[in-house]
Every structure is written in structure tokens, then in C-alpha cells.
Amino acid sequence: MGEDERIAKMVMVGFRGCSLGNDHWLVAALERYPLGGVILFDRNVDRSVQNFDSPARLAKLTAELQQRSRHLLLLAVDQEGGMVCRLKERDGFQPSLSAARLAELGLEATAAASERLAAELATMGINLNLAPVVDLNLNPDNPIIARYERSFGGEVDEVIAHAKAVIEAHHRHGVACCLKHFPGHGSAGADSHLGFVDVSTCWQSIELEPFRRLIAQGYTDGIMTAHLVNRCLDASATPATLSPSIIEGLLRRNLGFTGVVFSDDLQMRAISNGWSLTEAIQQAVLAGVDIVVIGNNLDPREDVLQVALRAVNDLLDSGRIDHNRVQLSIDRINSLKAALTGQRPWNFNGKPTA
């Protein structure tokens, strides 16, 4: 396997289109490279349909993507529930409730809703849900967590209990999860989709606890980084997604996480306002990210995979990383895919749950 093929496994991209003609740029990418994954959206930022607007369209698209791919693709959506969902009731999918609403109804409600959701995702061909959110609801004025009811609450035990119910239901249906947003977004006072966000004066160390305890209990799927500056954890004021101190130091060495680290979308303005896409990819990989996520709806472009391949090859050629670093990411990604295909247990609570 050539270096480009290895690097391609570290890339998750979005694209525009509800189907894939033979001349689509993504088809060429899938036929040539073992792409790591594809992230799907129902609507674009301009409200036009991006990938699907019905269960039939989504199921057909995911089947086509897997058929076109040389290897098992991670097919991902942000299906948290409530206001943050890609599979919407208006399009014929089952209704969903927000994390905050489920927490009000109780743990049994979360477990039941998660069971229905995971079954639906599996039926639709989705094998990775970029959820649950384990941010603590510490700032009622938070414009991206509290406002959209994305947190299960402000208490660590409550958030962990509900997150476990979500994760275990997904595992029973062969769907992986991704905790977010490390190292904690719940205290923030601004939205990193829109620009620079610094939580240095409001972040609390307790925000690490949901991540710490779920990892300690055997969670190994994925964790998504936050595009937040936190000088409490990195005095250089580097956003967490691009920070070796936060990813390799805190998440890997301190908390002992052995699963896949996903970046949040590298086209979000908290990153794109300060770094080119090439620079962002390089800094994320240097920081310890395993899969760089490029949603491709904030700044649509058809060369995202080529940009990623060049960016990481430049790191290798310059000696800033070595081939072992790339292989570490591939090993983690392969391990996650092995859980998806039943070749290894999920390792949550120390036993298989799928």
C-alpha cells in the first residue's frame, strides 16, 4: 500500500449530491483510495438539500457509497436528536428529542429513544453517529450547547449515565459513537462555527470528568475535539483540535484514550479564519488527530482529498512526522472498523455489547 493510500484512511469528507454519477469527484476518490469516511448532511448551510431528504434516498446513497468504496467506509451523521439532527421528522424519519429533554424524562426515556435511533441508523446504512454530546451544561447562555439543548445536564453522573445508555444502544445495533466536544464546550460563551472562542476564564476542570470516566470504563470508539482555545490546558492559546498538549498530552497520555480522535470540521471559522486548510490538516495531525473531518459545505471544494494527501505527505517529507505516526492512526481506525464488523468487541464496560 502506497503512502497516499495510507493517508487517505485518515480523511473524512462531505460532498454535495444525493447520488453519485460516474463522473463525480468522490467516485474517483473512492475508486482510487481507501478513504476513511464520509460525513452526510440533509441540508446545506443555504438550506438546499445536500445529500438526502427521505429514508429511501439516504439508504440508497449509503449503499452506493459502500459499493463504490474499496474498503469499509465510516458513514457518519450528527444525529444527536432534537434541534441537532440530520434525519428529520419532516423528511419521513422518526421524531427525536434533545438531550436536555430526554434528561428531563429520565434514563429509561434516553435508553428507549437511543434504541429506536440506533436501529434507524443501522437500517439506513449509517455506522457512525457523531454523538453523544458529553459537554456539561454549565453556561445557560452558551449559544451552541445550551441554546440547542445538546447537553444531558450539568451533573457529571447524570451526563455519564445518559451517554452510556446512548452508546450501549448504538453498539447493540452495530453503530459506533463519537463523544464530543473534548475537552469541554459546555461553559463557552460563543460559537466556534462563527469564529475564535476562548474558554480560558470560564472552563472548569470538571468538564473533563465525563470523558475521563467513560474512557476508564472501557470506551474506545471515538472522541471529537473542540475548536476552543483553553489556556488552562495549553498556554500557547492553540485551539484544542490543533494542540499536541491537549490531544497527545491530556487525552492520550493522561486520560489513556486509545480510540480514534476525530477533528471537528476543519472548515469551521474558528479554524479557517486563522489557518489554511493545508495548515489546519497538518497542525491537526501533528497534534494527534487520527481522522481529519472536512464537511465541505461551508467551503465546498472537490480537491479536499488531494489537499489532505499533499499536506500529510509534506509532513512526512519534511520529517515533522514519521511513518509510524501515520500507522498509529491507521491501527486505531482499523480497530474501530473491526468493532463495526464484529471482529472485536466494543470493549465498553470490559465486555462486548454488540
Cis peptide before 132 (omega within 30 of 0): yes
Catalytic residue among 193, 198, 299, 314: 193
Q: What are phi and psi of 37, to 5 degrees?
A: -170, 170
Is residue 162 part of the annotated active site? The answer reads: no
Cα-based distances in Å from 219 to 7, 28, 153, 273: 25, 35, 20, 33
Cis peptide before 55 (omega within 30 of 0): no
Q: What does 315-331 look like in DSSP terms, one character per residue?
A: HHHHTSS-HHHHHHHHH
Amino acid making up residue 321: I
Q: Cα–Cα distance between 342 and 139 in angstroms, integer?
A: 40
Q: Cα–Cα distance between 252 and 5 in angstroms, integer?
A: 25
Is residue 193 part of the annotated active site? The answer reads: yes
Residue entry with cell 517529507: 317
Q: What are phi and psi of 70, to 5 degrees?
A: -75, -20
Q: What does 221-240 look like in DSSP terms, one character per residue?
A: SEEEEP--B-TTT-TT---G
Calculated CA dihedral for residues 194, 196, 200, 204, nearest 10 degrees: 30
Catalytic residue among 234, 264, 265, 290: 264
Identify whether the C-beta of residue 277 lies closer than 8 Å to the C-beta of residue 248. no
Active-site residues, by number, are 193, 264
